[in-house]
Amino acid sequence: MADSSPHIMIVEARFYSELADEMASGAMAALDAAGATYERFSVPGAFEIPAAIRFAIAANGPGEGGRKFDGYVALGCVIRGETTHYDYVCQESARALQDLANNHLAPIGYGILTCENGDQAWERAGQNKGNKGAAAVEACLAMVALRHRFKLS
């Protein structure tokens, strides 16, 4: 790591803006508590999150200027509708994030909610309930530490 505190990229899907704000608040509170620094980026929906992370990986490769990210937090929500669109967005965004983690040794905290309805989403997003924004940060920071332990960063 560039210094003692990890620098994290938060990528949030804005399709459900109120849920995104709640999850981002939980994530930022967890990062602040951990003493990490972060930058927050928005994308239209969960499907676009992996590309945003890939852009950052490509832009901050070895020898590039600026401080690179030590880890990534993916925040979003997909709520089932009347078509199969839900299935594709859930599967493809999860697969793409897993591929990024494995192919680029990228610590990624997965915080994309996949819910049947809005009530389920709020139960998981709420800071005083499921707080999945904070849980995604905890997963990311654990993987940053593990990567550092193996001297990969």
Residue 73: strand, helix, or coil: strand
Per DSSP (E only), the strands in the chain are 7-13, 37-43, 71-79, 108-115
Backbone angles phi, psi at 6, to 5 degrees: -70, 150
Active-site pick, 7, 85, 104, 148: 85
Apex CA 90: angle with CA 92 and CA 19, to 5°? Answer: 130
Q: How far apart are CA 90 and CA 45, in angstroms?
A: 11
Q: How far apart are the first and last CA of the chain?
A: 6
CA atoms within a 13 Å half-sphere pointing along the CA-CB vector of 53: 33
Q: Would you state the torsion angle of the CA atoms of residues 42, 43, 49, 50, taken in this order, to the nearest 10 degrees?
A: -110
Query: Would you call 104 a catalytic residue per the annotation?
Result: no
Supply the residues annotated as catalytic. 85
